[in-house]
Structure 1
Amino acid sequence: MELTSNLTLELSDQPFLLEKRIELLKAIKNYGSISKAAKAVPMSYKAAWDAVDTMNNLSHTPIVSRETGGKGGGGTTLTEYGENLLRTYTVLKEEQKRFLERLKLVTDVDKGTLKTIGRLSMQISARNQLSGRIEKIVKGKVNSQLFLQLKSGNTLISVITNDAVETLGLKEGDDVTAIFKSTSVLLGTGEMLISAENRFEGIVETVREGTVNAEVVIKIGELDRIVAVLTKDSVEQLGIESGCKVFTLIKSADIMIGK
């Protein structure tokens, strides 16, 4: 059994972009004529203009422009805003498709086992969730190395199973989220040799001390932050305080990937 769904965008609590209207906008872009576009969709000429008028009236900026007269006899074209809406809708439609594919993987509709749907929307307690793009995937016999470029420009390496790569449909160029616990982050204040693949230099932004442990927020680059939790004794021994330079260390096997 397949899972399908239409995608509708609302504006001011009114249906704004429906799939039929998107098809009409695509046809207007291709033909430059409302009559030819209506035939291609297909819909009546009146229905096509009603749809265009509705979209234009709901939108703060016109989507379709009508030109009359002139050497070519006029025509109908998309505005720059209309072109942008088409591109945006295409991206959203692709994301919806990916969601339905994931939903199908974790759900057996025929047997009625729908309880696993909750996995798709569960909240994750891990403090570190960094966005990145897959630069390279190196597959081994069992596991794969994923090289992610973070927003800060740093490269983060994660090791996950080949089955996980296949299940998530991961490929180079995909935008993903790297997830790891704050307790998996080690901190150092001096130069050191260590086998951990992920070693980043950063500046401590804040130190929040509790009764036993302390939470340290480290800024790596301009756009990424890593949270580490260690004992208060460790913070004191390392002399960690706001503004000091530290090195963060994360094992690649401790980093999960979400998509």
Structure 2
Amino acid sequence: MEISSSLTLELLNQPFLLEKRIDLLFAIKKCGSISQAAKEVPMSYKKAWEAVNTMNNLSSNPVVHTETGGKGGGGTNLTKYGENLLKTYLVLKEEHKKFLDNLKNMADIDTGTLKNIGRLAMQISARNQISGVVEYINEGRVNAEVYIRLKSGYTLVSTITKGAVTNLGLHVGDEATAIFKSSTVLLTTDFTLNISARNKFQGTIESIHEGEVNTEVIITIGGSDKIASVITSSSVKALGLEEGTKVSAVIKASDIIIGK
């Protein structure tokens, strides 16, 4: 037995983007004409116009732009906002499919058994969760090095087992999340320091939250990427750390796990 569900986005508590409307937008992009697009979907010309008007009225920006008359006889095209909506919808649809696939794997519909259903809503305590795109996977006999390009422009390296790569279905170009505990992040103000750890990110201290024994330091490394490090309060004083200080965050590749 399969699990299926359509994806609908709402605005102002009203259906905004339904799969039929998405099909219409793709057809408009292809044909440059509402009448031709309506035939391709298919739907009536009247319903196509009603759908376009509804989307344009609900949205803060026009989704479809129509020109009448003129030398070229007019036409209908997606606005830049409309183009971005299509791209966003396709991303959401892919994530929606992954969710349904996971739900199917966790549930036996025929027997009414739910297997580890709580994992769908599971949260983890690791302070650092940074997303990026897998740009290279170097597989060895047992382990694999996964290279993830972050929004900051840095490349993060994680060492995981080959079995984990297979179980995650990890491929170059996939979006993935690097997860590591703040206690595994070392800090140094010596940018010339040579160290065996694969990951060394330079950044600026954004904030410091001091405790009696340990202190949390938040470092901005660029592109909205931030790293949290928990070190002893005495180390903060010894390094002379304060907001605005330039530091390097150092993380071993074996301390980073990958989520997808």
TM-score, L = length of structure 2 = 0.84
> SS of 2:2's equivalent?
coil
Match status 1:248 vs 2:246: no
Q: Which moved more, 1:242-251 or 1:91-100?
A: 242-251
Over the aligned positions, Cα root-mean-square deviation in angstroms equals 2.7
Shift of 1:239: 4.3
How many residue pairs get aligned? The number is 259
Distance 1:79 1:217 in 2: 40
Supply the AA of the counterpart residue of 2:154. N
CA contact (8 A) 2:106 2:115 kept: no
Alignment partner, residue 128 of structure 1: 128
Shift of 1:215: 1.6
- Structure 1 residues 69 and 195, CA, compared in 2 at 3 Å: closer, same or farther? closer
Q: Which moved more, 1:166-175 or 1:196-205?
A: 196-205
Shift of 1:240: 3.9
Distance 2:66 2:220 in 1: 52
What are the residue-to-residue correspondences of 1:85-124 with 2, within 5 Å? 85-114=85-114, 116-124=116-124
Distance 2:139 2:133 in 1: 17
Unpaired runs of at least 5, structure 1: none
Shift of 1:140: 1.6
Distance 1:222 1:31 in 2: 38
CA contact (8 A) 2:158 2:257 kept: yes
Alignment partner, residue 158 of structure 1: 158
> SS of 1:133's equivalent?
strand
Match status 1:234 vs 2:253: no
Unpaired runs of at least 5, structure 2: none
Supply the AA of the counterpart residue of 1:19. E
What are the residue-to-residue correspondences of 1:75-86 with 2, within 5 Å? 75-86=75-86
Shift of 1:125: 1.7
Distance 2:105 2:3 in 1: 11
TM-score, L = length of structure 1 = 0.85
The percent identity for this pair of structures is 63
Alignment partner, residue 219 of structure 1: 220
Distance 1:79 1:238 in 2: 53
